[in-house]
């Protein structure tokens, strides 16, 4: 189990290190070649105003902050998918609640080996932790020169060590989602402020009020705010979803670990 966790951590580090650079490259390509395509602008020139109602052209006019915001959005999507599959795998096969109930039922009947076999079928982080505790349970039963309290401590320690190995892999990359939820809105506001400065500077240089030009400039600037808020909202939603799932898995592990200890205490004098 330790080797599997080390391999998973190594792969996760590689994935985490590649996501943001790849997302940035993809965002730049989309910005220049999709949003900046000449067909989105009047006269077929991206230096002109966007064709009326053309969203891609309007987004392009949001400026150079747009690729950065797109990078954050792609990063959120990538880590959301990665966390979804990782946490789903950690839950194992079928309902985790039913699995814990079945383990508790088997332990109450002192069927430790059957409970261990159930863990093999369930798979996942919760099953790995519970099986580690059950293996220790069977090991300490064979030891005759240990007091009951020492055996209970050994079982609890084994469960805690297994939990320590499993939980970091569940919580990995969540800090990135939390960080993006904070900076995406600020990045969007920065883009809007820069766009507003540009719009009013152009209006001042023209020397005469032009409400149409000003309105266009403001709408283009606000694209950044919309992009930033939307990205932050997605990051916050999925961060909370995943932390809730992890809390449920942690609770299941704690409940099963307590059951193992209680079962040993009840069945051994």
- When pLDDT is averaged across residues 66-91 and rounded to a whole number, the result is 92
| Model pTM score | 0.84
* Local structure of 146: helix, strand or coil: coil
| Closest among 222, 175, 208, 180 to 68, alpha carbons compared | 180
The pLDDT of residue 216 is 66
10: pLDDT strictly greater than 70: no
Domain count for the chain: 1
Please name the residue ranges forming H helices in 172-210: 174-206
Binning pLDDT at 50, 70 and 90, where does residue 39 land? very high
What angle, rounded to 10 degrees, do the helices at 65-91 and 125-141 form?
40
Q: What is the pLDDT of residues 210-230, one digit of tens each?
A: 665 666 677 777 888 999 999
Q: Is 41 helix (H, G, I), strand (E, B) or coil?
A: strand
List C-alpha distances in Å: 77 to 23, 81, 144.
10, 6, 54
Q: How far is the C-alpha of 42 from the C-alpha of 21, rounded, in Å? A: 33
Dig out the tokens for 69 from the structure.
């915001």
What's the average model confidence in pLDDT over 70-80? 95
Q: What is the pLDDT of residue 95?
A: 81
Q: For residues 150-163, give the mean pLDDT.
A: 85
Give the pLDDT band (50/70/90) at residue 32.
very high
Token readout for 138 is: 């069977």
Coil, helix or strand at residue 50: strand
Distance of CA 9 to the CA centre of its chain: 15
Strand partners, 50: 41
Residue 11: the pLDDT is 64
Distance of alpha carbon 4 from alpha carbon 67, whole angstroms:
37
Domain that holds residue 102: 2-267
How far apart (Å, rounded) are the C-alpha atoms in residues 61 and 239? 31
């Amino acid at each position: 189990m330790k080797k599997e966790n080390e391999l998973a951590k190594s792969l996760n580090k590689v994935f985490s290190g590649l996501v943001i650079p790849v997302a940035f490259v993809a965002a730049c390509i989309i910005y220049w070649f999709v949003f900046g395509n000449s067909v989105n602008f009047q006269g077929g020139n991206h230096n002109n105003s966007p064709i009326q109602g053309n969203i891609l052209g309007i987004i392009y006019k949001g400026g150079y902050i747009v690729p950065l915001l797109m990078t954050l959005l792609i990063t959120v999507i990538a880590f959301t998918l990665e966390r979804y599959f990782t946490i789903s795998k950690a839950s194992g096969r079928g309902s985790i609640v039913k699995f814990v109930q079945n383990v508790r039922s088997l332990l109450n009947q002192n069927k430790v080996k059957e409970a261990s076999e159930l863990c093999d079928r369930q798979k996942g982080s919760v099953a790995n932790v519970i099986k580690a505790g059950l293996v220790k349970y069977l090991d300490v039963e064979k030891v005759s020169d240990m007091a009951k309290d020492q055996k209970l401590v050994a079982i609890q320690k084994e469960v805690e060590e297994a939990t320590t190995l499993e939980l970091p892999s569940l919580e990995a990359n969540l800090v990135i989602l939390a960080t993006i939820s904070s900076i995406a809105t600020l990045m969007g506001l920065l883009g809007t402020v820069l766009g507003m400065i540009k719009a009013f500077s152009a209006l001042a240089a023209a020397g005469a009020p032009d409400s149409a030009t000003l309105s266009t400039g403001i709408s283009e600037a606000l694209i950044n705010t919309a992009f930033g808020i939307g990205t932050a909202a997605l990051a916050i939603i999925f961060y909370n979803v995943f932390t809730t799932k992890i809390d449920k898995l942690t609770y299941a592990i704690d409940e099963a670990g307590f059951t193992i200890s209680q079962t040993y205490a009840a069945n051994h004098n």
